Structure 1
Amino acid sequence: MMLTGAFGNLGMATAEALIRAGHDVRALDLDTKLNRKRAAALQKLATRSGQNLDVRYGDIRDVTYVRHAVLECDAVIHHAAVLPPTTESAPELARAVNVGGTECVLRAIEDNRTPPRLVFPSSVSVHGPRLHERPPVRASTPTQGTDEYTRGKIACETMIRASRVPWVIMRVGVSPDPGATSVTLDTLRMLFRISPKNRLEYVHRDDVARAFAAAVSCDEALGKTLMLGGGKGCRITHYDLMQALFDALGLGHVPFEAFGDESYYTDWMDTDEAERLLHFQGGRFEDYAAELKQRMAPVRLGLRPGRRAVRWGFLSLVRPR
């Protein structure tokens, strides 16, 4: 199985899921110090599991590199991408990697006499702002590009459907990394402009990874657009997500009036078909909140002496103007 973007957060989780499912993995990513460190860790898992890991460093925009890598692969999972907020601050790079890179992958696959299937990660965000719409969002719900990231995802979906490649498209819900503790002030301000009533469906990263690992061999999934969310127990609001962050930091109750009223491009999802085919759901939002609280324990302890002042200052900085 070929996996692009193999050493990103979702890429690593997917590689681990593939190896545990008994697949050999050909891992593609940029040659960086961090990626080499992650490749070494993944090699240990592959060795213990009796699977082969073939690491190939290069640029996803290089069609020759991709064409050689795809040879003798049964399936391709294409995670390599530029993500927000970089997509918005560097739109030309985002288009070159996200759309151009996907085009290279499609060309490389189509050059094979028997093209391997492509499993492509799209996003629930392609459906646009949903606060005033009726949930849940479905694969048949119209798409609406509202920024560089979503326009790129929609362009890739269109290319894939028009190609000769057997495909599965997976629109992924909200899957925050509890280990990501570095957040800019601009991002925090953006999060507090969103209405606290905005709906979102959480899905654990490992559940997403299991879904991708299952899709490489699920023939019934071919030609389908599947919605990857955590299920009914993971249907929350934006307020729930931000309260989990406040709890993890030990900052108490987050006031409703701290938020704005903007609609955001998330919603609850109809995941019935995806779960029936891929059997991936397992994590709950409560699990994420507990893990976030555990990882934030050192920060929470450090903030405790001046908690009230920190809370006041934090809310003053992020409150919508």
Structure 2
Amino acid sequence: MRNVFITGATGNMGWPLIKRLVGRQDIRLIVLASPKDRRIETLQEMSRKGQLSIVCADVCDRDALCEPVREADIIIHMAAVVSPAADKLPELAMEVNLNGTKNILSAIKDQGREASVKLVFIGSVAETGDRRPPLHWGRVGDPVKPAMFDTYALSKLRAEREVAESGLEFWVSLRQTGIMHKGLLSVRDGIIFHQPLNNCMEWISDEDSANMLEHIIDYDLPKEFWKHIYNVGGGETCRLTYYEFMEMLYRSIGIRDIIKVMEPSWFALGNFHGQYYLDSDILEGFLHFRSESAKDFAKRVRRKLPIGIKLSGMFGPSPVKRGMSSISSNKGGSLQWMRKKDGAKIDAFYGSMGSLQLIPGWETWIPVRSTRESEKIILSHGYDEGKGLEGIDFNDLKEIADFRGGRLLSEGYDGDLWRKLNWECPLGHRFEASPGLIAHGGHFCPVCDGNWEEYDSISASSPFFRQVYEPLKLNK
């Protein structure tokens, strides 16, 4: 019997996984859950039936992690404060998302389990930040670049670094994309409007996310699967612009024409995250988890929507539009930023007040509807990728550092991708990092990565970073 320790069990990824695993005779579940979790009563009932054991604590409680980590064969670490809560409670987000991950790693090391336990860390597409067209195709190894004010992305970026540099024999970081779940239509926060309408995202359904994790638990995965970062995506049938995605969602409640319930100027022009993946098939090749297209998800969720949400579309577009306007006006949306004259947010998401005011109405706004093979711009990672990661040599590492505007300070390389070397970034910070983290993960300096106040300075010296920064800068 394998022991599986799961954090974040009651979230949008965790709950479908729990329902699949509970009752299986070859799995013993250990679920770390907060007493405030809305599904804790169901978990307690499962525990009474002997289907799982519960540790009621959170990942910030280091002592609570000792026993579950000691017993675990595999740890699925999903617990996180996500946006929009992370935007409002940035210190809590860092405490849970970053320090909680550090606590798990410390518990593993304290018990000398670096070579035995398997750790599955859930990262985020948000780590790579804004990738609007024409840079809407991406892969692992592209520059990490969280959007301004995105504490969630920054916390995931830093936590992924801790995992990759942990020295564990068996770890993966899964950069989760946008998850399609029925709760999306219940979101009443201005974050709805932080994503540009022409933004591109390769979504995945909650059920396929659960498939992915279940297969990691079940499959006898080869050694080459581990010690890697993967992009998680649903594939070609889940690639949608945000406009197309909103159309799909609102059709499920009977709103056939979304231009009647929202305005283009409510949506940001940039500073979000999302991309279509050049490499999401790699993870699918290992785990075979895809079963739903975006259309399949829409059909499934339409049947299960709460009656209140179904009824909201029956009264026509006017009440829906009033509700959407209210969200943008009062819940951290663009209309609130305008009313409060929040210049920092307007500059970040629109470029300037002038750019916001020049956004056309629906009569002249042109949505991006599809993407062609010829539109793919593949970014350079600064070395001959034909060698593969295992073929990187000392000269390649020097080129990689130079392409990032920095220097490799170490005088040799023994071929171990995950053994730390010494580097210097373009702003003069000296640090230790493994070649794998840099060449494979797209990270570089721990001080500069995600430090949006230095993005202009980093871009001026780093051709690597400049690829994703200069073409997408909003007009000031």
Q: Provide the rounded CA distance (Å) in 2 between the counterparts of 1:73 and 1:107.
A: 14
Aligned with 2:292 (options 283, 293, 308): 283
Q: Provide the rounded CA distance (Å) in 1 between the counterparts of 2:18 and 2:320.
A: 39
Distance verdict in 2 for CA 1:252–1:18, change over 3 Å: same
What is residue 200 of structure 1 aligned with on the other side?
201
Aligned with 2:11 (options 8, 29, 47): 8
Q: Provide the rounded CA distance (Å) in 2 between the counterparts of 1:172 and 1:123.
A: 5
* Cα deviation, residue 18, structure 1: 4.0
Cα contact 2:185–2:309 (8 A) shared by 1: no
- Aligned with 1:9: secondary structure? coil
| 1:170 counterpart letter in structure 2 | L
* Cα deviation, residue 311, structure 1: 4.7
- Greater displacement, 255-264 / 124-133: 255-264
What is residue 112 of structure 1 aligned with on the other side?
111
- Greater displacement, 127-136 / 224-233: 127-136
1:51-74 deviation digits (Å, cap 9, x = unpaired): x52211112112121012211211
Say whether residues 1:265 and 2:269 are aligned partners.
no
Pairwise mapping of residues 300-311 of structure 1 onto structure 2 (< 5 A)? 302-303=311-312, 306-311=315-320
TM-score relative to the length of structure 1: 0.87
1:150-206 deviation digits (Å, cap 9, x = unpaired): 100010011111112221110111113214543225234x25xx3322111110112
- Aligned with 2:285: secondary structure? helix
Cα contact 1:14–1:210 (8 A) shared by 2: yes
Aligned with 2:248 (options 244, 251, 265): 244
What is residue 173 of structure 2 aligned with on the other side?
169
Larger radius of gyration: 2
* Cα deviation, residue 229, structure 1: 0.6
| 1:262 counterpart letter in structure 2 | L
| 2:56 counterpart letter in structure 1 | Y
What is residue 130 of structure 2 aligned with on the other side?
129
Distance verdict in 2 for CA 1:258–1:6, change over 3 Å: same
* Cα deviation, residue 297, structure 1: 6.7
Aligned with 1:38 (options 35, 42, 54): 42
Say whether residues 1:298 and 2:307 are aligned partners.
yes
Q: Provide the rounded CA distance (Å) in 2 between the counterparts of 1:251 and 1:140.
A: 40
- Aligned with 2:143: secondary structure? coil
What is residue 231 of structure 1 aligned with on the other side?
235
Cα contact 2:5–2:76 (8 A) shared by 1: yes
Distance verdict in 2 for CA 1:143–1:305, change over 3 Å: closer
Q: Provide the rounded CA distance (Å) in 1 between the counterparts of 2:253 and 2:207.
A: 24
Distance verdict in 2 for CA 1:210–1:303, change over 3 Å: closer
| 1:266 counterpart letter in structure 2 | G
What is residue 156 of structure 1 aligned with on the other side?
159
What is residue 214 of structure 1 aligned with on the other side?
215
- Aligned with 2:160: secondary structure? helix
Cα contact 1:7–1:38 (8 A) shared by 2: no
Distance verdict in 2 for CA 1:225–1:251, change over 3 Å: same
Q: Provide the rounded CA distance (Å) in 1 between the counterparts of 2:202 and 2:54.
A: 34
What is residue 27 of structure 1 aligned with on the other side?
31
Q: Provide the rounded CA distance (Å) in 1 between the counterparts of 2:274 and 2:45.
A: 34
Aligned length: 313
* Cα deviation, residue 291, structure 1: 3.0
* Cα deviation, residue 112, structure 1: 2.5
Distance verdict in 2 for CA 1:255–1:18, change over 3 Å: same
Cα contact 1:173–1:228 (8 A) shared by 2: yes
- Specify every segment of 5 or more residues in structure 1 that has no aligned partner in the other structure, as ranges: none
The structure with the greater share of residues assigned to helix is: 1
Distance verdict in 2 for CA 1:248–1:164, change over 3 Å: same
1:237-257 deviation digits (Å, cap 9, x = unpaired): 101111122212322212398
Q: Provide the rounded CA distance (Å) in 1 between the counterparts of 2:313 and 2:212.
A: 40
What is residue 83 of structure 1 aligned with on the other side?
82
Q: Provide the rounded CA distance (Å) in 1 between the counterparts of 2:107 and 2:321.
A: 54
Cα contact 1:178–1:291 (8 A) shared by 2: no
Q: Provide the rounded CA distance (Å) in 1 between the counterparts of 2:180 and 2:290.
A: 16
| 1:271 counterpart letter in structure 2 | S
TM-score relative to the length of structure 2: 0.60
Percent same amino acid among aligned pairs?
25
* Cα deviation, residue 17, structure 1: 3.7
What is residue 100 of structure 1 aligned with on the other side?
99
* Cα deviation, residue 149, structure 1: 0.4
